[in-house]
Amino acid sequence: MDAVIASLPQYWDGFLRTLYLSVISGIIALLVGTLLAAMRVSPVAALRGFSMFYVEVARNTPLTIIFFFAAIVLPRLGVRFEQFEVAAIIALSSYTAAFIAEAVRSGVNSVPVGQAEAARSVGMTFTQVLGFIVLPQAVRTVIPPLINILIALVKNSSVAGAFFVLELFGYGRQLSNDYGNQVLWILLGVAFFYLLITVPLGLLAHFVERKVAIAR
């Protein structure tokens, strides 16, 4: 217990880095995932094909391997970055985007096709139909699964700890070495800080789910 209290500055630093990785990767993944979903339902066959290929590859590959590519293979191909955080963000967002694309796509499919037909009939272009009519109605069904994906993203960010990034899990490993006799407490401390992010997200999901239920 006293090891946890003595290490609070490290915990705090790790917590902030985990939060930073999650927020940045989450935003990028949301943008890229929505774009991939839009491509998946677009009238252009090549875009549909690319989106499908990307999603299938990214979500069926273990995250550790994607991290390995981002942190070790990319630099050898000449992509240089100052910090390993960048590699972690690339890996996390490209992996999570695939799941977000699937969630958004199923939300788009939950909107009756007549809505899009009516919008096309008044002369809207594909992007207008999606932006003004379909996505606003898809949001309701998509938010609960999206929050689940974001919770998974926060936990997945721990893989970065194995790739030279000192976030919560990275500090956890370091501290476990420093306080070999108090490993259990150290790890409980790590778990507690993860819960500090994921539990509020879960509560938010419950709240949104209730709101959606009322709106129907």
Partner 1 sequence: MTTQASGDALVSLNGVNKHYGQLHVLKDINLQVQKGEVVVVIGPSGSGKSTLCRAINRLETIDDGDIAIDGKKLPEEGKDLAHLRADVGMVFQSFNLFAHKTILENVTLGPIKVKKVAKGTADKEAMALLERVGVGHQAPKLPAQLSGGQQQRVAIARALAMKPKVMLFDEPTSALDPEMINEVLDVMIQLAKEGMTMIVVTHEMGFARKAADRVVFMADGQIVEDATPEEFFTNPKSTRAKDFLSKLLTH
Residues near partner 1 (CB under 8 A) are: 43, 112, 114-115, 117-126, 128, 132-133, 136-137
Check: CB of residue 32 under 8 Å from CB of residue 93.
yes
Dihedral of alpha carbons 125, 130, 132, 133, sign: positive
38 versus 92: smaller Cβ distance to partner 1: 38
Q: What's the CA gap between 68 and 91, in Å, rounded?
A: 9
C-alpha pair distances (Å), 65 with each of 58, 59, 85? 10, 12, 16
How far is the C-alpha of 70 from the C-alpha of 102, rounded, in Å? Answer: 23
Least distance from partner 1 to the Cβ atom of residue 41, Å: 14
Min dist CB 112 to partner 1, Å, is 8
Report in angstroms how near the CB of residue 76 gets to partner 1 at its nearest.
41
Beta carbon nearer to partner 1, 43 or 180:
43
- The nearer residue to partner 1, 112 or 202, going by C-beta atoms, is 112
User: Nearer Cβ to partner 1, position 45 or 77?
Assistant: 45
In this complex, which beta carbon is closest to partner 1, that of residue 60 or of residue 121? 121
Nearest distance in Å: CB 146, partner 1: 18
- Minimum distance between the CB of residue 153 and partner 1, rounded to whole angstroms? 28
- Cα–Cα distance between 174 and 161 in angstroms, integer? 10
Q: Assign residue 76 a region: left if phi > 0, alpha if psi is -120 to 50, beta otherwise? A: alpha
Distance CA 16, CA 97 (A): 22
**Residue with Cβ nearer partner 1 (139 or 183):** 139
**Contact in structure between 70 and 58 (CB atoms under 8 Å):** no
Residue 90 and residue 95: Cα distance in Å, rounded? Answer: 8
